[in-house]
């Protein structure tokens, strides 16, 4: 559930943060205030792991190429220019030559060069950086600069998603700025908190646990963005987020759940937009013994016990209680927003679950409501997030 104030008149502009701009005759200007449940973890592409940081770098840094609206990940059809204006595949599909837009500039006015892209790959792969993108770049062997405006991505093997894996996960950063810092020291370097990017927004400021701001690059070679400024306001309490929206202190909340929805539902200046999710929330069993990972877990190593516990949970009712009509029980590992049909899952059946536990020897022999096997109670611990709009 995304929530926006209609007075902001900036929802469409938000969707254009990374790649859009104002068309001739269209209105520009204004500030978009986004209330978010968590702070940015970093604002330099190789260091970002969280969603807020990702939104910030999407505004501040331009990717090599931009994906089509349908988010196709196979091949390169319908991708549009980003830093690169064109690309050419080798006959064996094991290399792609990209031509950088000669107008491309970093925010300090330094031209973007092919060497920046090659340098960026070395940063992503540095052990001290531990970039989340590295597993998605395993098929990429290397990047070389053919000349100042042409770089070649060399692949160790072909893959239907090799183009997407490259342009979605390797966001170039300027070598002349960050190459001065020892690569393994980048995560703690002050320069990484004031990023110099190439996107339609320039980084403005980051007040930890308070706000992150970006401002329009009005001289960008691809044209200025529709908004003047975007700020992410860190507000961990969902009720406080809703109150800010009603009071006009925020224009947008990306995720809204439960009672907060009722708070804003009656305000005609606020639009509630239901969006199919691109993420899942779930609990998973630890299958390995924490004390000796080579051995199966003393409880969850038993498939029948996992099955019994799963059937004892009314997941549909849980989703309804927490999300009302805005959530549903998972039927597959795929988020609902991908439109992939789920598989047949075990139904809620507490009677069958109880009988299965009895068969496994887990019984409530003393009537205290706790099942045990011999002198061992059926108990285990759970861990989960303590912040953000999660349950």
Share of the chain above pLDDT 90, in %: 69
Q: Where are the alpha helices (DSSP H) in the chain?
A: 11-14, 51-60, 114-124, 162-169, 175-178, 238-247, 259-265, 303-311, 315-323, 350-359
Question: DSSP of 144-205, one letter per residue?
Answer: EEEETTEEEEEESS--TTHHHHHHHH-----HHHHTTS-GGGGGG-GGGGS----SSEEEEE
pLDDT bucket at 69, cuts 50 / 70 / 90: confident
Q: In this model, does residue 259 exceed pLDDT 80?
A: no
Name which residue leads in pLDDT, 273 or 379.
379
- Give me the phi and psi of 370, to 5 degrees please: -115, 125
Same CATH fold assignment for domains 2-61+199-273 and 65-178:
no
Contact 200, 59 (CB under 8 A): yes
- Vertex 255 angle, CA 62 and 347, to 5°: 115
Q: Average pLDDT, whole number, for the chain?
A: 88
Distance (Å, rounded) from C-alpha 230 to C-alpha 225? Answer: 11
Low-confidence winner among 6-15, 58-67, 220-229, 382-391 (lowest mean pLDDT): 6-15
| b (16+ CB within 10 A) / e for 176-204 | ebbeeeebeebeeeeebbebbbbbbbbbe
Name which residue leads in pLDDT, 372 or 321.
372
Of 215, 196, 176, 198, which is closest to residue 81 (Cα–Cα)? Answer: 198
Contact 250, 241 (CB under 8 A): yes
Q: What is the pLDDT of residue 334?
A: 79
Q: In this model, does residue 390 exceed pLDDT 60?
A: no
Joined together, the tokens standing for residue 5 give 């104030």
Q: What is the pLDDT of residue 20?
A: 41
Task: For residue 289, count other CB atoms closer than 10 A to its CB.
Answer: 15
**Averaged pLDDT for residues 224-246:** 93
Joined together, the tokens standing for residue 252 give 């947008």
Instruction: Give the start-to-end residue ranges of the domains of the chain.
Output: 2-61+199-273, 65-178, 288-377
- Give me the phi and psi of 375, to 5 degrees please: -95, 5
Q: What is the pLDDT of residue 3?
A: 56
- Give me the phi and psi of 210, to 5 degrees please: -125, -60
Joined together, the tokens standing for residue 24 give 């001739």
CATH of 2-61+199-273, one of 3.30.2400.10, 3.40.50.720, 3.40.190.10, 3.40.50.2300: 3.40.190.10
Domain topology for 65-178: Dipeptide-binding Protein; domain 1 (3.90.76)
Neighbour-count burial of 54, counting CB atoms closer than 10 A to its CB (0-12 exposed, 13-18 middle, 19+ buried)? middle
**Averaged pLDDT for residues 102-121:** 98
Name which residue leads in pLDDT, 202 or 280.
202
Q: What is the CA radius of gyration of the chain?
A: 25
**What's 288-377's CATH class?**
alpha beta
């Amino acid at each position: 559930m995304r929530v926006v104030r209609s007075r902001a008149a900036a929802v469409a502009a938000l969707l254009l943060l990374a790649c859009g701009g104002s068309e001739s005759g269209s209105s520009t200007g204004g500030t978009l205030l986004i209330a978010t449940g968590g702070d940015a973890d970093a604002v330099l592409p190789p260091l970002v792991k969280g969603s807020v940081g990702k939104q910030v770098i999407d505004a501040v840094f331009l990717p090599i190429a931009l994906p089509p609206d349908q988010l196709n990940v196979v091949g390169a059809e319908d991708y549009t220019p980003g830093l690169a204006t064109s690309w050419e595949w080798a006959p064996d599909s094991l290399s792609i030559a990209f031509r950088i837009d000669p107008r491309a500039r970093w925010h300090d006015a330094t031209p973007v060069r092919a060497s920046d892209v090659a340098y960026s790959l070395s940063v992503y792969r540095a052990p001290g950086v531990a970039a989340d993108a590295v597993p998605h770049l395993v098929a990429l062997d290397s990047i070389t600069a053919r000349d100042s405006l042409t770089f070649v991505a060399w692949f160790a093997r072909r893959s239907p998603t090799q183009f997407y894996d490259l342009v979605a996960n390797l966001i170039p950063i300027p070598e002349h700025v960050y190459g001065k810092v020892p690569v393994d020291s980048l995560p703690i370097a002050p320069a990484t908190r004031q990023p110099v990017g190439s996107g339609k927004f320039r980084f403005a400021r980051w007040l930890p646990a308070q706000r992150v701001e970006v401002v329009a690059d009005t001289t960008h070679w691809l044209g200025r963005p529709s908004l003047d400024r975007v700020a992410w306001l860190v507000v961990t309490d969902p009720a406080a987020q809703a109150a800010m929206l009603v009071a006009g202190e925020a224009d947008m909340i990306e995720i809204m759940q439960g009672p907060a929805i009722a708070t804003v539902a009656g305000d005609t200046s606020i639009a509630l937009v239901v969006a199919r999710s691109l993420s899942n929330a779930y609990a998973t069993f630890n299958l390995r013994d924490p004390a000796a990972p080579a051995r199966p877990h003393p409880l969850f190593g038993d498939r029948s016990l996992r099955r019994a516990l799963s059937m004892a949970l009314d997941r549909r009712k849980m989703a309804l209680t927490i999300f009302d009509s805005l959530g549903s029980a998972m039927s597959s590992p795929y988020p609902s927003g991908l439109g992939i049909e789920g598989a047949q899952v075990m139904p809620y059946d507490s009677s069958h679950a109880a009988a299965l536990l009895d068969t496994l020897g887990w019984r409530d022999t003393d009537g205290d409501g706790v099942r045990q096997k011999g002198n061992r109670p059926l108990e285990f611990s759970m861990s989960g997030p303590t912040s953000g709009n999660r349950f």
